[in-house]
Amino acid sequence: MKTEIEKHKEKICHLTGFDIEKVDEILERIFREIEFYKEEIIPFEIWKRSARLVRDVDMDDIAFVALTEYLEANLWTGDKKLMKGLETKGYTKCYTTNQMFDLRNEEQNK
For the chain, percent of residues with pLDDT exceeding 90: 84
Residue ranges covered by each domain of the chain: 1-36
pTM (two decimals): 0.75
Residue 10 has pLDDT above 60, yes or no: yes
Write down the pLDDT at residue 14.
96
SS (H, E, C) the chain: CCCHHHHCHHHHHHHHCCCHHHHHHHHHHHHCCCCCCCHHHCCHHHHHHHHHHHCCCCHHHHHHHHHHHHCCCCEECCCHHHHHHHHCCCCCCEECHHHHHHHHHHHHCC
Residue 92 banded pLDDT, cuts 50, 70, 90: very high
Q: What is the pLDDT of residue 52?
A: 97
- Report pLDDT for 2: 62
Closest CA to 61 of 47, 71, 72: 47
Q: How many CB atoms lie within 10 A of CB 18?
A: 14
